[in-house]
Amino acid sequence: MSLNVTTSIKGGFRRVATRNGLLLIAAYAVVGLIWQVSFNSLFVQGVAQFAPEAADASPGVLSVDLPLGVLAVLTFVLFLVLQYMALVATRILVGGYERTIPNDLLTRNIPLAIVNLFVGGIVYSALVVIGSILVIPGIIAYLAFVFMTVYIAVEDENFVAALGDSWSLTRGNWLRLFLLFVVIGVIGGVLGVLFSIGSMLSPAASTILSALVFLPFSVLSLGIIAEAFVQLRDERSAAATTEAI
């Protein structure tokens, strides 16, 4: 059971270059921009209220003038919306749904899945950070548990089971996964250059580019991860069937 990096990248692009994939990109761009403006506004209002001497530290940042409490609630709600979108996007891309979205994908086990994604994300990040003290263990943790979110979203597992299943599925493919993420990183680096140019133009342009480029790019990254997951899962299932025969 081995991962084909080229197939994962091409398949990831194909999964995103569909009606549903383009809808996800558009949704990420719109919600991401609103969330970014809301977050910026919360930061600006918070600084103005609690540290007025630093109120001019972020001139030109794209923000709106709303009460601090309203901005805090709005930012939190939009954060939850983004988590919900990530959950649904994972189900759509892994399932290969190109034009239709079954209602089950939109409603199944949502609250528990989001809680597991949140807590599991903290545990995953902690494992990577702790492992990074010795460098190599951190890289292995990042690669070995990368499918945790997929198992939570698609298989309705809790984060503990998802971590274990991700380890099992990725074992023996860490180097290939590393190469896959190098490619994703290169693409992200190119977008980072565009972001840097936008930042030099104005903070407002930086905000818009961040929402319209990086969040939609996460859909492409998710498509590639979905393709890699399906490839390894199907190969393992085929191998198990062959052994049973």
Q: What is the pLDDT of residues 35-81, one digit of tens each?
A: 988 988 888 888 777 666 555 555 566 778 888 889 999 999 999 99
Q: Read out DSSP for 219-236?
A: HHHHHHHHHHHHHHHHHH
Q: What is the mean pLDDT of residues 241-245?
A: 64
User: pLDDT at residue 206 above 80?
Assistant: no
pLDDT digits (tens, 9 = 90+) for 145-203: 999 999 999 999 999 999 999 999 999 999 999 999 999 999 888 877 776 766 666 66
How far apart are the C-alpha atoms of 176 and 57, rounded to whole Å? Answer: 44
Tell me how crowded residue 118 is: count the other CB atoms within 10 A of its CB.
13
User: What's residue 202's pLDDT?
Assistant: 67
pLDDT digits (tens, 9 = 90+) for 129-151: 999 998 899 999 999 999 999 99
User: What's residue 150's pLDDT?
Assistant: 97
User: pLDDT at residue 229 above 90?
Assistant: yes
Residues 6+ apart with CB under 8 A from 35: 75, 78, 79, 81, 82, 211
How far apart are the C-alpha atoms of 129 and 122, rounded to whole Å? Answer: 10
User: What's residue 47's pLDDT?
Assistant: 75
Beta strands in the chain (DSSP E): none
DSSP secondary structure code for residue 2 in this structure: -
Say if CB 217 and CB 193 are below 8 A apart.
no
Say if CB 128 and CB 141 are below 8 A apart.
yes
Per DSSP, the three-state class of 156 is coil
User: What's residue 201's pLDDT?
Assistant: 65
How far apart are the C-alpha atoms of 213 and 190, rounded to whole Å? Answer: 11
Mean pLDDT over the full length of the chain: 88
User: What's residue 64's pLDDT?
Assistant: 85
Indicate the domain borders of the chain: 5-240
Residue with tokens 């991962």: 3
Query: Angle formed by the axes of helices 215-244 and 5-16, to 10°?
Result: 120
Query: Angle formed by the axes of helices 5-16 and 174-201, to 10°?
Result: 50
How far apart are the C-alpha atoms of 155 and 90, rounded to whole Å? Answer: 11
User: What's residue 46's pLDDT?
Assistant: 82
Express as a percent the part of the chain with pLDDT over 90.
Answer: 65
User: What's residue 54's pLDDT?
Assistant: 52
Say if CB 183 and CB 9 are below 8 A apart.
yes
Pick from 122, 89, 82, 121: nearest CA to 105: 89
